[in-house]
Amino acid sequence: MNEQQQVERLSVDEVWNKRPLIISGPCSAETEEQVLETALRLQATGKVHALRAGIWKPRTRPGSFEGVGTKGLPWLQMARKLTGLPTAVEVATAKQVEDALHFDVDILWIGARTTVNPFSVQEVADALRGVKVPVLIKNPINPDLELWTGAVERVAKAGIEQIGLIHRGFSSYGNTEYRNAPMWHLAIEMKRRNQNLPMICDPSHICGRRDILQAVSQRSIDLDYDGLMIESHITPDQAWSDAKQQITPERLNEMLSQIQWRTEMIDAPEASVLDKLREQINHIDDELLQLLAQRMKIADQIGVYKRDHNVTILQTNRWNEILEKGFQKGKQLGLSQEFINKYFDAVHMESIQHQNKIMNS
């Protein structure tokens, strides 16, 4: 029996050119059954073009599940045989590149924790010399477009022609709505600088939770992204890594049906320039509001402290210090003193209101 005849097989190049390009699969390959069942259920949606699975997992802290390693690669090979879906794996070292290619992985990606390190990126790039394989490069964990660009340049210099970008958000200290702050304006700027490279959104690692995946995916599509990489699992809550953000293939199917797919308007170039600038403003405004909300949460904590120690909300010296610093900084940044005054007044009054609620609750 020739399994190749059972399923529609797109070449990797055909898949690479799909728009929107949809890549899905578990955060980590865990067992052969899990990989195969995920692949079959994703294929059944008819909406997924490639199967992702982490084989080697870079973990922030030691002791968590670090991936099954090379023994998982034949599972992916089998999944591809059964479903026709090209496979995608994260690589961080020359040995991982070698193993992935040995087991016919179709698409490689460089993870956010690797993009930050030029030594590692160079090692991966050197291992790719003379190979024809598409490579997706995730943004570095820190908001630094030069590092992201450097990784693209290193991989391109190694002779890789099919390079794509994945926006997975940026680490920030403290709790926010997101696991990794999207900082959309950075991805928009990276897209602008690399108009020939596809930009794919990874809402799973931006969100870190299921309930806002669809909204973030929609946002990226509204920003003319070229595709989505979304983590899926047959039993998400039992996943060995990133359980909170994974969804079943069926939920993915539903989500993809609900997304409004957009086309880029191309016949009115002037309007589209304006639209793009406005989009950037909208996203910066959105981020400013997120930051302000974060600031108020800290003010709340200060309110709790003040209540417990019975001190006044208003501390005039502290307030003068904030204003003085603001004026100086504003001047350096080209913002008028009048604006700084109004801005800090508004922020301060909101903080006081927040603390008032806490102190008198």
Are residues 42 and 24 in contact, defined by beta-carbon separation less than 8 angstroms? yes
Residue nearest to Mn ion (CB): 27
- Cβ proximity to ligand PEP: between 91 and 255 the closer is 91
What tokens does 133 get?
A: 């394989």
Q: How is 290-319 classified by DSSP, letter by letter?
A: HHHHHHHHHHHHHHHHHHHHT--S--HHHH
Q: How far is the CB of 99 from Mn ion (least distance, A)?
A: 20
Q: How far is the CB of 204 from ligand PEP (least distance, A)?
A: 7
Under the binding rule (CB under 5 A), the answer on residue 27 touching Mn ion is yes
The one segment of 106-114, 185-193, 291-299, 339-347 that binds ligand PEP by CB under 6 A: 106-114
Q: x/- contact string, 37-56, with ligand PEP (CB under 6 A)? A: -----------------x--
- Cβ proximity to Mn ion: between 112 and 147 the closer is 112
Query: Considering CB under 5 A, how many residues would be counted as binding Mn ion?
Result: 2
Q: How far is the CB of 319 from ligand PEP (least distance, A)?
A: 40
Q: Which residue has the tokens 């806002």?
A: 212
Question: Which 3 state secondary structure label does DSSP give 27?
Answer: coil
Among 20, 25, 86, 111, binds ligand PEP (CB under 6 A): 111
Query: Considering CB under 6 A, how many residues would be counted as binding ligand PEP?
Result: 9
- Cβ proximity to ligand PEP: between 171 and 272 the closer is 171
Q: β-strands 50-52, 163-167: how paired?
A: unpaired
Beta bridge partners of 23: 50, 229
**Spatial distance between the Cα atoms of 19 and 188, rounded to a whole number of angstroms:** 18
Residues 13/14/15/18 CA torsion (nearest 10 deg): 120
Q: How far is the CB of 229 from ligand PEP (least distance, A)?
A: 7
- Residue 96, C-beta contacts closer than 8 angstroms, at least 6 positions apart: 55, 56
**Spatial distance between the Cα atoms of 234 and 218, rounded to a whole number of angstroms:** 23
Binding residues for ligand PEP, rule: CB under 6 A, are 27, 54, 90, 111-113, 138, 168, 205
Binding residues for Mn ion, rule: CB under 5 A, are 27, 242
